[in-house]
Structure 1
Amino acid sequence: MSAFEKNHSFTQLIEFEIEPHQQEPLVLALVEQSERLAQDHGGFLSASVQVSDDGRRVLNYLQWQTREAGEAAFQGFESGEQDFWQLILAYRARTVTFGSFQVRSSIARSHDNALHCRLAG
């Protein structure tokens, strides 16, 4: 593992393709799931749930301090600690796409309105 992977955050993206009438219930379920992850797993940084305008896609964005923290949380899904797989079945997702990404650059606005950029080197 490179020094970069040890020192920079890790992001998991999970995209669900669903019927439009399932979008809002799935959003609520993912918000609840994200709150449990935040409480139950060390290394959690942030999460967001985003929706497409056509109602057919929901994106769950999870950011972790390290790859290990994100992978440990996901192993909890696979071992049945969480009800993630039930979400897929309950909301009849047509497809679910998983992506894992190492953060290489980020930009954020601080409370004093300044922009701060963090670039991996």
Structure 2
Amino acid sequence: MRALEQNRSFTQLIEFEIEPHQQSGLVSALSEQTECLAQGYPGFLSGSVLASDDGRRVLNYLQWQTREAGEAAFQSFEKGEQDFWHLIRAYQAKTVTFGSFQVVRSIERSPDNALHCRLAS
């Protein structure tokens, strides 16, 4: 891996496919779990829980300073009581897709309403 790639932030995407009546419970559980990750693991940058309009999908978006930080948190956290595997069983997920991505570019709006494009350094 080139030095430039080693300095990029790391994103984990976990998509759950569920029955619509399970969505609100899974959103709550993932929100709590994301908060635990934020408080308990170094390198956490941001996290979001997204719910589809049709009620059949929930996406958990976690962004870390480095791949190592994200992987270490996930490995440590999955041994706990409320791990991702528990959520899969408890909310009867039909499918779960895990994805890992290096952030190479992001666009953000600043408080002064300007757009800023940041390349990963």
Both structures adopt the same fold (TM-score exceeding 0.5): yes
2:9–2:120 Cα contact (<8 Å) kept = no
Which residues of structure 2 form unaligned runs of 5+? none
1:12–1:62 Cα contact (<8 Å) kept = yes
1:10–1:64 Cα contact (<8 Å) kept = yes
**Which residue of structure 2 aligns with residue 36 of structure 1?**
36
Q: Shift of residue 82 of structure 1?
A: 5.3
Q: What pairs up with 1:53-92 in 2 under 5 angstroms?
A: 53-78=53-78, 80-81=79-80, 83-84=82-83, 85-92=85-92
TM-score with structure 2 setting the length: 0.93
Percent identical: 74
- Would the alpha carbon gap of residues 82 and 116 (structure 1) be closer, same or farther in structure 2, given more than 3 Å must change? farther
Q: Shift of residue 8 of structure 1?
A: 1.5
State the aligned residue count: 120
In structure 1, C-alpha distance between the alignment counterparts of 2:2 and 2:43, rounded to whole Å: 19
**Which residue of structure 2 aligns with residue 18 of structure 1?**
18
In structure 1, C-alpha distance between the alignment counterparts of 2:2 and 2:31, rounded to whole Å: 32
Partner amino acid, structure 1, of 2:80: E
Which residues of structure 1 form unaligned runs of 5+? none
TM-score with structure 1 setting the length: 0.93
Query: RMSD over aligned Cα, in angstroms?
Result: 1.3
Q: Secondary structure at the match of 2:31?
A: helix
In structure 1, C-alpha distance between the alignment counterparts of 2:2 and 2:14, rounded to whole Å: 25
Structure 1 segments, 4+ long, off by >6 Å, are none
**Which residue of structure 2 aligns with residue 3 of structure 1?**
3
Q: Secondary structure at the match of 1:45?
A: strand
2:14–2:61 Cα contact (<8 Å) kept = yes
In structure 1, C-alpha distance between the alignment counterparts of 2:59 and 2:97, rounded to whole Å: 9
